[in-house]
Amino acid sequence: MSVNPLEFRCKTVSLKGQRMKHVLSSISRIAHTLHSLRMYSPLNVSRKEIRLLHIHPAAWNDGIECYMEIVSLKDYPKFQAISYVWGDTTNKLSITVNGQELAVTQNVVTGLQRLRATGETLALWLDAVCVNQSDIHERSEQVQCMREIYSSANEVFIWLGYGRDSRSPSEQPEIVRWTGDDRDLEIVDSYFKQGVLQNGSNEKDKETEDVVGLFVYMKLRAMDKHVHEIPFFDVQGGKLQTGKTWLAIIQAMHTLSSHPWWTRIWVVQETILTRKATVLYGNITVPWTLVAESTRAAARHIHCCGDLHQARGGRELRAIVELRKARYDDLEWLRAARAQNKKLSLYQVMSRTHSRNATDVRDEVFGVLGLVTDWFGEPPLISDYDLSPSEVSMRVVTKHVQSTLSLHILMGTTRTGIPGVPSGRTSQSSSSATGYRINRAVLFSAAGGHPASVRREANVLITDAFEPSLTLSQVGSTFPGNHDWRKLIDCITSWRHMVRLETPMDHTLVSKNPQNKAFWRTITNDSWQPQRMNSVDILSAQLDFSGEVFTAYRRFGDTDVSRIAESFWDWAQSKTKGDLKKSEEHTSSMNEIKAFYRSPLGATLDRRFFLASNGCMGMGPPEMQPGDSIVLFMGSTVPFCIRAMQDAPDGHYRIVGDAYVHGLMDGEGVPNDCEVKIVSIHIH
């Protein structure tokens, strides 16, 4: 066999090149490890040691130089912590720590630069610098200390960047300091008299002025002002008049509520555990308490002032609701629960935080462990980054079920083959829909109150259930995750055709047709919130999610569903034709009708209608298919849709999702000889 010398030489050079790349890569890893060893000496876990960063004073555009020291939390050191988002990890800059260069994200640099501008000598804790990110064991140990770190900090700075521009300004900005008390009125008066920045000469100055205007609005809201008492607005003839300044503030409000900080999992405990939280946003320094009170006041005034905003098309109202619903409600609910010393289980906390983001999916669990106060007498879960995401998930589910004897935690887990959490990201509408279903689940007792019995083998959860007897025969279309009236009506109409019900409603009255009554009860999950609502409530509800059980939900009675469903359908159809006024004229109970509006929305968002083999109607997850089974797990208040695993022994399934099955929600499916009909189901 002959060998081309040139080809041989090329292959040899190529091989040498690959080896050289491998050698250089190895050298780089070794250098990084040595660098970490020099900068990060080991921490004494028993002493609860942490590292604190001290920033050297310097001019605005000088590089960031710091020194880092090790302290023990047992010695009660004075320090501040930073709550922030890492930002783009591909765009890194260098800071100097103990004389050595350390690469960090641009958002970390701009945050440290902004804090350095305060002129104060600060001892800071931020995980990107104070934790050796290349040491997985140290990361696990420091996460276990998070509760003590943030509860020990004298103050937590919430760094939200510079608005739409991620870069810091070329010159040090003049800081506008809000105090949360009457001293703030000087800023308010100055803004309305002459403008804080005298109508800045460039776009950056204009954006800064708009941000100041936003916090002026928030301050006035926090003072419990009505719309007509706020100088941004003028109410003439019952109509709201605004100018360009308010439109710019609306944009600033949207930019603030869209900041990724609001969606990050770690910020929950960072904000809640601290004694004092301060927001840094551009040149603004403002107490978190002012933001909180402003948001609470907006919620109060949405009833008396919201219709004025709604009359202008709803843009202003939606921006206000977005600010309120930018995961803020969850933060304040958890803060209030802790302040009242309420016991919080891991499930309760995660119900509040399940739609938040984490770079590492395991942090959906580890990031909230510091907020849990009730482990039901069992040892708490420990953060351990040596565990795989699936193992973390299985430990969470198993621990919760064994502690509570309930399978409630399995609700809303349709997007992965792993039961429980982490379950991956879902849309906000999907998260809201899951929340609505969780809220209503307490009203049911599908398994007759029988407690859960679970055990695990490797990555398989084995739970007892009553033998599956129902399969899906037909599935309808999935209602999309939005609030389009026409799509809602079209979708409901298609479902009605599946059960051969006539439309429109006035041809087949609910009170005279049991099938029709069953249909309405099915698509509302046989429950509603009867409290008074107006059009503003409806808009707010569309962005709502709550992890706790609302006692405001109640089951329908025959009179309720007969009377209200007929009126609702008539009103809904007229709404799609733009004739709401006419509908309101002949509808005697518009508040009830609008309250009923939330019932089909909460039960149908991201859900699909189905018919079971015995003719039962139901609502289930979008992934369900004909041939799937409906099962009653012991320990669950609602039925579940499951699918047999291919190439697996009998009795092995994966969960498709929780379901509502009309006629099976109150123990009707529990057999009389239940001792005989119990089977073990393996959930993958």
Q: Quick one: pLDDT at residue 280? A: 97
Q: Quick one: pLDDT at residue 415? A: 41
630 lies in the same domain as 671: yes
If phi > 0 it is left, if psi is from -120 to 50 it is alpha, else beta; for residue 611 that is beta
CA-CA distance, 87 to 679, in Å (whole number)? 49
**Which domain covers residue 532, as residue numbers?**
482-604
- Of the listed ranges 89-93, 152-156, 233-237, 418-422, the least confidently predicted one is 418-422
Q: Quick one: pLDDT at residue 204? A: 58
Which of 539, 573, 604 terminates a domain? The answer is 604
CA neighbor of 385 nearest in space, from 365, 399, 368: 365
For residue 683, name the pLDDT band (cuts at 50, 70, 90): low
Structure tokens at 88: 């783009």
Q: Quick one: pLDDT at residue 669? A: 87
Residue 34 falls inside a structural domain: no
325 lies in the same domain as 357: no
> What are the pLDDT digits (tens) for 175-196?
999 999 999 999 999 988 865 4
> What are the pLDDT digits (tens) for 541-595?
333 333 333 346 678 765 565 565 665 666 566 555 554 444 444 444 555 555 5
CA-CA distance, 131 to 142, in Å (whole number)? 7
Q: Quick one: pLDDT at residue 78? A: 96
Q: Quick one: pLDDT at residue 416? A: 38
Compute, in degrees rounded to 10, the torsion defined by CA atoms 112, 122, 44, 127: -20
Q: Quick one: pLDDT at residue 31? A: 46
| Cβ proximity of 624 and 608 under 8 Å | yes
328 lies in the same domain as 345: no
Q: What residues form DSSP beta bridges with 461?
A: 456, 683
328 lies in the same domain as 185: yes
pTM, full prediction: 0.78
586 lies in the same domain as 622: no
Mean pLDDT value across residues 151-170: 90
283 lies in the same domain as 153: no
207 lies in the same domain as 270: yes
**458 vs 602 pLDDT, higher one:** 458
Residue 11 falls inside a structural domain: no
For residue 138, name the pLDDT band (cuts at 50, 70, 90): very high
Task: Give helix 590-604 / helix 428-441 axis angle, nearest 10°.
Answer: 110
Residue 475 falls inside a structural domain: no
Q: Quick one: pLDDT at residue 251? A: 86
- Of the listed ranges 123-127, 166-170, 528-532, the least confidently predicted one is 528-532
CA neighbor of 284 nearest in space, from 355, 345, 207, 220: 207
| Cβ proximity of 591 and 428 under 8 Å | no
Q: Quick one: pLDDT at residue 460? A: 84
- Cis bond before residue 422 (omega within 30° of 0): yes
DSSP state, 357? B
Mean pLDDT value across residues 62-83: 96
Residue 613 falls inside a structural domain: no
Residue 164 falls inside a structural domain: no
Which of 310, 334, 358 terminates a domain? The answer is 334
Mean pLDDT value across residues 297-315: 57
> What are the pLDDT digits (tens) for 471-515?
999 999 998 766 566 777 788 889 988 998 765 544 445 556 788
560 lies in the same domain as 423: no
Q: Quick one: pLDDT at residue 241? A: 54
Q: Quick one: pLDDT at residue 3? A: 41
For residue 660, pLDDT over 90 is answered with yes
Cα–chain center distance at 291:
19
Residue 16 falls inside a structural domain: no
Per DSSP, the three-state class of 451 is: coil
Structure tokens at 674: 């239940």
Q: Quick one: pLDDT at residue 506? A: 41
- Of the listed ranges 140-144, 187-191, 222-226, 329-333, the least confidently predicted one is 329-333
Mean pLDDT value across residues 9-17: 42
206 lies in the same domain as 327: yes
Q: Please classify residue 193 by burial: count the beta carbons closer than 10 Å to its beta carbon, then call 0-12 exposed, 13-18 middle and 19+ buried.
A: exposed
547 lies in the same domain as 663: no
Q: Quick one: pLDDT at residue 546? A: 33
Q: Quick one: pLDDT at residue 516? A: 79
Based on the structure, what is the number of domains in the chain?
4
> What are the pLDDT digits (tens) for 361-415?
899 999 999 999 999 888 999 999 999 998 898 889 888 888 888 888 888 754 4
CA-CA distance, 499 to 522, in Å (whole number)? 12
323 lies in the same domain as 203: yes
Mean pLDDT of the chain: 78
Q: Quick one: pLDDT at residue 315? A: 55
Mean pLDDT value across residues 641-653: 85
Residue 590 falls inside a structural domain: yes
Amino acid at 211: V
The three-state DSSP-derived secondary structure of 209-241 is HHHHHHHHHHHHHHCCCCHHHCCCCEEECCEEE
CA neighbor of 165 nearest in space, from 212, 200, 204: 204
Cα–chain center distance at 162:
23
Q: Quick one: pLDDT at residue 467? A: 77
For residue 70, name the pLDDT band (cuts at 50, 70, 90): very high
For residue 287, name the pLDDT band (cuts at 50, 70, 90): very high
